[in-house]
């Protein structure tokens, strides 16, 4: 089967630092002109290893993200970002080659996902990542909406930030929440799948799911 309309997917914060396939490194190289030789450092791109992943595992993630980007460019998928994920991204370290030919998401734009609960944000030179995390955790701890409390109960009160993003996806009637957080995926699928209209999956799982749907 094929989807009659584009798939709508919320992309987790951890997706964005993982879209760059290479890093620059300096390597010594000897150049010769006639009888003269000189050794200098030359900057070359090398395959990038994602945190806690082997090179093969990293390459598989890159390939799945590349396919997601192609789906977005072909109009088969609409990627979404929320204010909360955007703020989380501000305090993440991003690879130096983001936006270059080595970034599989280069040129990808996202639609905006509305928050189930609106809150204000502070962005200033004196506002630290630690303060942002504290404010975020306090906000999550004080949510009393029945659906969010239901989601928290299903995971024993753990993974509150990702549960909020899942709730954002539900609130915007999105199809998927794509994340690299395998622990969160396990928490909402084992031993009993969480009751939600949103598919929670890694990029690799998403690509396999789409392939199966189209068979």
In the structure encoding, which two tokens stand for residue 77, read together?
């998928």
Tokens 């709508």 — which residue? 8
Provide Rg for the chain, Cα atoms.
Answer: 21
For residue range 135-182, list pLDDT tens digits in order. Answer: 999 999 999 999 999 999 999 999 999 999 999 999 999 999 999 999
What is the distance between the alpha carbons of residues 29 and 133, in angstroms, rounded to a whole number?
45
* Domain range annotation of the chain: 7-22+50-213
Q: Which residues of the chain have pLDDT under 50?
A: 1
Q: What is the pLDDT of residue 4?
A: 62
Q: What is the pLDDT of residue 1?
A: 41
Nearest Cα residue to 154 out of 201, 188, 185, 198: 188
What is the distance between the alpha carbons of residues 155 and 189, in angstroms, rounded to a whole number?
10
Q: What is the pLDDT of residue 214?
A: 64
**Is the bond into 191 cis (omega within 30 degrees of 0)?**
yes
Q: What is the pLDDT of residue 215?
A: 53
């Amino acid at each position: 089967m094929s989807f009659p309309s584009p798939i709508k997917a919320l992309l987790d914060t951890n997706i964005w630092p993982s879209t760059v396939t290479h890093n620059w490194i300096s390597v010594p190289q000897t150049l010769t002109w006639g009888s003269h030789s000189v050794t200098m450092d030359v900057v070359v791109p090398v395959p990038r290893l994602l945190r806690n992943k082997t090179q093969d595992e990293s390459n598989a993630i890159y390939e799945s993200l590349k396919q997601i980007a192609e789906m977005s460019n072909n109009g088969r998928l609409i990627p979404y970002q929320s204010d909360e994920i955007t703020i989380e991204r501000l305090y993440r370290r991003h690879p130096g080659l983001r936006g270059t030919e080595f970034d599989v998401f280069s040129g990808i734009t996202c639609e905006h996902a509305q928050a189930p609960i609106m809150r204000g944000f502070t962005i200033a030179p004196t506002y630290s990542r630690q303060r942002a995390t504290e404010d975020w955790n306090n906000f999550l701890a004080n949510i009393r909406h029945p659906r969010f409390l239901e989601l928290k109960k299903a995971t024993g009160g753990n993974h509150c930030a990702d549960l909020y993003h899942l709730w954002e996806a539900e609130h915007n009637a999105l199809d998927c929440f794509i994340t690299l957080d395998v622990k969160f995926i396990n928490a909402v699928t084992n031993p009993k799948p969480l009751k939600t209209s949103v598919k929670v999956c890694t990029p690799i799982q998403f690509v396999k799911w789409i392939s199966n749907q189209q068979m």
